[in-house]
Amino acid sequence: MASLIEIFGWFETGDIPTQDQFRTTFASFRHKENKIPLNEVEGLAAIFENTVTNNIFNGFKDDVNSKIINLAKKDGSNLLPADVISWKKALGLANIAVVDSEDDDETVIIGNVYTKKQVIGMLEVFREQVNGSYQTIEEIKEMLVSNDLDLDELQEIVNFIKKNREDIELLKQISVGNTKDDKVELVANYARWGALNLQNQFNDVVYDKIQAIESGAGTRETIIITDDSFFTHNLNSYDFVCEAYDTVTLYKLPLKIKIVDANNIYIAFDSKPTNNINVTIKKI
């Protein structure tokens, strides 16, 4: 094999290369049909030392993929209803209203509020029961004023009274065309708001709280922020509402609020705001 310098010397102006020189020239280069052995590629062995085998790489890829499927997507599209409830508890949002739902495997997730359809259904049942009770009472009255009662009819009256004693007592508390809220007992427990047993007591407390929210006197604080921030306030309460708006566009913004203690909260945005954000908290 000749060097390039030798080959260039054979083909200078005026030279007449010989057959051997032509042969040697072409023999000094590799033809595309001739494969280059790996051991003749300079530095290739060192490159291979910095790589991994297919088995190792595939094992690493499978391990990463197994972890990715357990991560929540940014838009939360792969969260099951049970996962959503767990996230709400972790973020301090467990008291948000949730209706009944089902997982992908048809497992029922029990919510904490009734849907509009469920409430309407319950009201229809109550209305039918009340209307039915009134109708039956009117039938009994007609029997009592009749002069041809027999023992069977009297037994029907006795059976109705025994079976529907609670409904009859409830009807005593209902005036025609109006229900007295000081006679209606609460089903749920509102111990945090005091000793509430009747509907009128509950109504009074709710009304007072609404007035306090509307007045806002001494029960609100404001801060201007530009990113996720801690907010230390003097409301000394876990019960408050929080509002935020862009000071430039004046659009209201959604917030994620974590209650640290009675005087500290952590405010987080879905994305970093462009402008200053006015945040106000109002004690309930």
- Give residue 248's Cα distance to chain centre: 29
Beta-ladder partners of 155 = none
Asked if residue 225 belongs to a domain, the reply is yes
- Beta-carbon contacts of 242 under 8 Å, excluding residues fewer than 6 positions away, are 255, 257, 265, 267, 279, 280, 281, 282
Query: HEC states along the chain?
Result: CCCHHHHHHHCCCCCCCCHHHHHHHHHCCCCCCCCCCHHHCCCHHHHHHCCCCHHHHHHHHHHHHHHHCCCCCCCCCCCCHHHHHHHHHHCCCCCCCCCCEECCCCCEECCCCCCHHHHHHHHHHHHHHHHHHHHHHHHHHHHHHCCCCCHHHHHHHHHHHHHCHHHHHHHHCEECCEECCCCCECCCCCHHHCCCCEHHHHHHHHHHHHHHHHHCCCCEEEEEECCCEEEECCCCCCCEEEEEEECCCCCECCCEEEEEECCEEEEECCCCCCCCEEEEEEEC
Mean pLDDT over 106-115 rounds to 74
234 versus 104: which is more confidently predicted?
234
Asked if residue 161 belongs to a domain, the reply is yes
pLDDT class of 176 with cuts at 50, 70, 90: very low
Written as one letter, the residue type at 191 is: A
Asked if residue 196 belongs to a domain, the reply is no
Which residue's structure tokens are 């991994």? Answer: 52
pLDDT at position 63 is 83
Same domain, 251 and 235: yes
Asked if residue 33 belongs to a domain, the reply is no
pLDDT at position 175 is 47
Same domain, 220 and 275: yes
Asked if residue 35 belongs to a domain, the reply is no
Residue 28 has pLDDT above 80, yes or no: yes
d(CA 158, CA 143): 12
Same domain, 248 and 274: yes
d(CA 213, CA 241): 9
CB 222 within 8 A of CB 278: yes
Decide: pTM greater than 0.75. Answer: no
Please give the tally of structural domains in the chain: 3
pLDDT at position 256 is 92
Residue-range definition of the domain harbouring residue 155: 116-172
Same domain, 127 and 168: yes
Same domain, 85 and 133: no
Asked if residue 167 belongs to a domain, the reply is yes
Asked if residue 274 belongs to a domain, the reply is yes
145-166 tens-digit pLDDT:
555 545 555 566 666 666 666 6
Mean pLDDT (the chain) is 77
Asked if residue 162 belongs to a domain, the reply is yes
